[in-house]
């Protein structure tokens, strides 16, 4: 049963994040296939929408705050939502701001891709950098989106 749990973890967390968006009044549309790096679309009004890529880390992950091997193609209406099960935290980061927070991998199987390390502690300089994306602050960023 362990494989089934880990194999379905990402999908379960996508649905959890979508449920949270719906609970907060967002108009959410799920994609059938994630071949464009889009897990869902949030419609803000008749002419504005945001594409969302959801990334999640399990409480059992050795590096529970580390997201490796991401292909990041920044654009104004693409946001990443990072969910960390260990501390039940959500960070919502605009794709245009994400590269400055990541490191570009220079070797290994993820060479050329981006990796993000979220802060573990609350009162560090790194935590202050990420504060505008965490929890309520992140949801406010989505609501304030302008094209």
Give the pLDDT of the chain (147 residues) as one tens digit per residue.
455 566 688 888 889 999 999 999 999 999 988 778 899 999 988 888 999 999 999 888 889 999 999 999 999 999 999 999 988 999 999 999 999 999 999 988 888 999 999 998 888 898 899 999 999 999 999 988 865
User: pTM for the full model?
Assistant: 0.91
By the 10 Å C-beta count (0-12 exposed, 13-18 middle, 19+ buried), 103 is classed as exposed
Give me the count of residues in the chain.
Answer: 147
pLDDT, residue 5, reads 64
Domains of the chain: 2-143 (3.40.1350.10)
């Amino acid at each position: 049963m362990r494989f089934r749990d880990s194999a379905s973890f990402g999908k379960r967390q996508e649905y959890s994040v979508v449920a949270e968006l719906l609970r907060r009044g967002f108009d959410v549309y799920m994609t059938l296939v994630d071949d464009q790096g889009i897990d869902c679309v949030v419609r803000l009004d008749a002419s504005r929408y945001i594409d969302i890529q959801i990334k999640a880390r399990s409480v059992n992950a050795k590096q529970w705050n580390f997201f490796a091997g991401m292909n990041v193609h920044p654009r104004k209406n693409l946001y990443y939502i990072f969910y960390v099960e260990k501390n039940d935290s959500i960070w919502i980061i605009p794709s245009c701001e994400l590269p400055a927070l990541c490191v570009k991998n220079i070797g290994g199987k993820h060479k050329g891709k981006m990796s993000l390390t979220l802060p573990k502690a609350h009162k560090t300089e790194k935590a202050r950098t990420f504060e505008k994306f965490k929890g309520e602050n992140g949801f406010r960023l989505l609501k304030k989106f302008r094209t």
